[in-house]
Amino acid sequence: MTDGTEREAEAGSHPLVPTWVRGNTNLFAMLVAGVVVGLGLFLISWLSPVLAPLGLGLFLAALAAPPGVYHLRMSATDASGRGGAADTEVDARLTEAGGLKLSSIVLGLSRNNGFVPKLQFGGEAVAIGQFEIYGRVSGQISALLEIAQTLNGPALTSMPLAISATEEPDRFLVRGALPIGALPTGDYVVRGIVEVPGHPAGRVVRTLRKISM
């Protein structure tokens, strides 16, 4: 990338949208994701290129849009014509952290040496949180992953984050694990904090929902 503006347009505009779709048939005929504007009109959309032979599955859609806050809708229609939709707000902007920029946090699980995003947790012992850092890292920086009951409340647990280089010299993957097995059911706030010496810390947050199993 040639400058920070292009980087933000690229990194902040491709949110991964994990969506669970449940049905009583064995085939979904159509899966659609779109950014909704105005009177329910799609600004941009994504259409599943193949039929989905799943009764319960995870589907990922990547939509490109300029940095901003968007209303996102995911809909599914099964082979018999029955359908439904889920709506959510997506913030596709980057967060400043001492000359660096942070993506949003994605929560999930570690499975088969890879990362699987997850919307809500139940009996899992550990939740994985990951995000990306953009910019030229010079000197020592620190990164922590915290979980708390409120946005600015004291941390229940705080764990160091591992920062890994990628194939791009100005993009880094940040990942850490939070023990959640002993937490009661409810909603919690996961905070990713990056500190660059001599600058205010940057913080990105995500709600973690734990349900009874």
Q: Label residue 126 by pLDDT band (50, 70, 90).
A: very high
Express as a percent the part of the chain with pLDDT over 90. Answer: 46
Q: Label residue 12 by pLDDT band (50, 70, 90).
A: very low
Q: How far apart are CA 18 and CA 27, in angstroms?
A: 19
pLDDT greater than 90 at residue 144: yes
Task: Please list the residue range(s) of the chain that carry CATH number 2.60.40.2440.
Answer: 95-210
User: Average pLDDT of 115-119?
Assistant: 88
Superfamily of domain 95-210, CATH level 4: Carbohydrate binding type-21 domain (2.60.40.2440)
- Whether 171 contacts 134, CB under 8 Å: yes
4-91 domain in CATH 2.60.40?
yes
Q: How far apart are CA 126 and CA 43, in angstroms?
A: 37
pLDDT greater than 50 at residue 213: yes
User: Average pLDDT of 61-83?
Assistant: 77
Ramachandran region, residue 139 (left: φ > 0; alpha: ψ -120 to 50; beta: rest): left
**Per-residue b/e over 35-59, b at no fewer than 16 CB within 10 Å?**
bbeeeeeeeeebeeeeebebeeeeb
The two structure tokens encoding residue 41: 């009109």
Q: How far apart are CA 182 and CA 189, in angstroms?
A: 16
pLDDT greater than 50 at residue 48: yes
- Whether 208 contacts 150, CB under 8 Å: no
Query: In angstroms, what CA-CA distances link 70 with 44, 120, 130, 186?
Result: 11, 21, 21, 26
Q: How far apart are CA 51 and CA 184, in angstroms?
A: 38
Kindly provide the residue ranges of all beta strands, DSSP E only, lying in the chain, ordered along the sequence: 16-22, 28-37, 41-47, 56-62, 69-78, 83-91, 95-97, 100-102, 106-111, 114-117, 120-121, 126-134, 142-148, 155-160, 162-165, 171-179, 186-195, 202-210
